[in-house]
Chains A and B, each alone.
Chain A
C-alpha cells in the first residue's frame, strides 16, 4: 500500500505539484494520466526519493522520509524509461542489480539471488538473451529487462514511469497485461505514469487525472475518463465512447476546429 499525502514539489521556486493526495492499494494498478508537464513523472520521482518534496509518502507504517535510500529500496522499486543504458553490462548483470538492497557492499550474489533473477527474466520472457550486452537491445527488450530488474527487487510497491513510451504496439500490450497480472497475483501496489489514455483505460484498475500539478479526478476509468473531463484537461474536444470489444471507455479526439 502506498499512501501519498499532501505531496508538493517545486523546481526553482516554481510549483509543479500542488498538494496531491491519493492511495495505491495492494493488488491494484493505478495509472496517472494527464497532459505533458502535469506532474505524472514528478510524482514517480518524488515517491522514489530522487527529488525533494514536501508532504508525506508512506507505506503501511513507515514514512519514507525517515528511511535511507537502502531501506526505501526494500519497499519500492522503479521501472524507468529504457533510454541509453550503459553497454558495459549484460542483461543478466543488469537484472541482478535489482537485488542490490539485499547484497553486501561488494555486490556478491548468492544462488538465491541468482534464482530470483532467473525467475524475473523468465516472467518477462527474456531468458533467451540474458548474455547479451544491455546496450544492444531494442526498446521493447530493454524495457522488459528493467521490469525484470524491478521485479527481482521483491518489493511490495512498483512504480513505472512511461513504460510504453518507446514500445511497439505488441510490446505495449504484452507489458501492460503482464503488469496487471503481476499486480493481481502478487498483490503488489502498482503506480504507472502514462500518457496513452486508451491503454490506461484498458489496463488500469483506477485512474488519476492530473492537470497542471493538481489532482483533478480519481476513480475507475469510466468514472474519470468522461467527455467533459478529458476535453477540459487536454483543451481539445473529445468524445468518450464505449470500447467495441473491451470492457473499458474509449477516448476519441475530435478536430480542433
Chain B
C-alpha cells in the first residue's frame, strides 16, 4: 500500500462517524453534521454530546493506547506473543479494582474515582515489582521480565478470583469491569486519562528508531551506541503508563494490543518508526469497530467489548494471516 497513513486515518474517521451514528437510535451523518454545528434535534444532540461523543473518544483512546503499547512491547521483547498485559498491568489493575470494590466508598466524586485510581496505581505497582524482580545488576534481561511478569500475573489473578469468591455480592460488578467496557465513563474519565496517554504514547511515537535497533539484539544495539537499559526502562514506563490509564477506565480488553500491531506489520512492514503510529491509529479504529458491534448486536443489551474483540478479532486475524504473501514477516 502506497499511503498507509492516509488509508489509516480515513478508516479511523469512518469508524468515528459510525460510532456516533449507531446506538439505540440511528443518527445519520447529515443530522450529525447539524448537531456538531449546534443545530438539530434536542434529544439527539443530548445523546451525541453527553453519551456518544465521550464514549467514542474514550474507546478510540483506549484502542490507541493498547495497540501502541502492544507494538512497543512486541519490539521490546522481540516476541510475537507479547501484548501490553505481558508483565502484569492487567492483572494488577484487576486486583486493585476488585480490592477497591470490596470497600464501601462514600457516594462522592472521590469515592467513585476510587476504583479507577486503585486500578491505575496497582497496575503501575505491579510493573514496578516485576521490573525489580527481573533486574540483574545493571541489565534487565527480557526473559526475566517475561517470567516474572507471567508469574506475578498468575498470582494477582488468583488473588483476584479469591477475593471475588469471598464477596459474592460484588462479583457481577467485578466481572463487568474485568471483561471490559467503556459504558460508564464520561468527559471526566477522558480528562483523567489524557495526560498519561499523551505522555506514554508520545514517548513511544519518538522511540521507533530505537526499537528498530533493539530488533538486532541487546548486544548489537548497544554496540551501535544505544543505552539499552535506559531505553528499555523508558519504553516500559511509557507503555505501562498508557496501558494502565486505559485499563483503569475501560477494564481489561484483550486482543487489541496483540493483534493490531501484527496486522500493521503484515500490511506495512516491521519498521517501528511507522509501526508505532500505525498501530495507534489502527488500534483506535479496531476498538471503535468492536464497540459498535458490541452495542448493536444484542441491543438494548451491551456485550462487554472484550468479548467482541476476541470473537471477531481472532477469525479476522487468522484470515489475514492465511492470505499473507510474504512469509517470515516477523
Contacts and interface: CB of A to CB of B under 8 A. Distances in A.
Whether A and B touch directly in their complex, counting CB atoms under 8 A apart, is answered as yes
A105 B210 contact: yes
B222 A97 contact: no
B138 A52 contact: yes
B225 A89 contact: no
B157 interface: no
Interface stretch (A67-75, A111-119, A164-172): A67-75
A72 B219 CA distance: 13
Contacts of B218: 50
B140 to A, nearest CB: 14
B222 A69 contact: yes
Contacts of B216: 85-86, 97
13 contacts: A48-B222, A50-B218, A73-B225, A80-B220, A85-B216, A86-B270, A87-B328, A88-B265, A88-B330, A93-B271, A101-B224, A107-B212, A107-B273
Interface string B186-212: 000000000000000000001011101
B111 interface: no
Nearest to A45: B219
Given A45-B219, A48-B222, A50-B218, 9 more contacts: A52-B138, A69-B227, A76-B223, A77-B223, A78-B220, A80-B219, A80-B220, A88-B215, A88-B271
B219 A89 contact: no
A135 B271 CA distance: 14
A69 B226 contact: yes
Contact of B212 (A45, A87, A89): A89
Nearest to A78: B223
B100 interface: no
Interface footprint category on B: 20 to 34
Interface in B118-147: 137-138
A45 B223 CA distance: 9
A88 B206 contact: no
Interface of A: 45, 48-50, 52, 68-70, 72-74, 76-78, 80, 85-89, 93, 97-98, 100-101, 103, 105-107, 135, 153
Contacts of A153: 224
A207 B93 CA distance: 59
Nearest to A73: B225
Given A70-B227, A86-B270, A87-B330, A50 B212 contact: no
A36 B210 CA distance: 34
A78 B212 CA distance: 18
Contact of B209 (A50, A70, A107): A107
A49 B222 contact: yes
B283 to A, nearest CB: 20
B329 A100 contact: no
Determine which residue in B218, B223, B328 has the highest number of CB atoms from chain A within 10 A of its CB, and name it: B223
B226 A100 contact: yes
Determine which residue in B215, B216, B329 has the highest number of CB atoms from chain A within 10 A of its CB, and name it: B216
B286 interface: no
A69 B225 contact: yes
Determine which residue in B222, B225, B227, B273 has the highest number of CB atoms from chain A within 10 A of its CB, and name it: B225
Interface in B237-277: 265, 269-271, 273
Given A86-B216, A89-B212, A50 B222 contact: yes
Contacts of A87: 270, 328-330
Nearest to B275: A88
A97 B328 contact: no
> Which 9 interchain pairs have the tightest Cβ spacing?
A88-B270, A107-B209, A73-B225, A101-B225, A86-B215, A78-B223, A70-B225, A100-B224, A50-B219
A88 B328 CA distance: 9
A74 to B, nearest CB: 8
B228 interface: yes
A61 to B, nearest CB: 19
A88 B212 CA distance: 9
A89 B222 contact: no
A136 to B, nearest CB: 8
B271 A89 contact: yes
Nearest to B269: A88
Contacts of B18: none
B213 interface: yes
Nearest to A98: B224
Contacts of A88: 215, 265, 269-271, 329-330
A135 B330 CA distance: 10
Contacts of A52: 137-138
B38 to A, nearest CB: 41
Nearest to B219: A50
B72 to A, nearest CB: 15
Determine which residue in B137, B224, B330 has the highest number of CB atoms from chain A within 10 A of its CB, and name it: B224
Contact of B223 (A48, A103, A135): A48
Determine which residue in A85, A88, A100 has the highest number of CB atoms from chain B within 10 A of its CB, and name it: A88
B223 A107 contact: no
Contacts of B208: 106-107
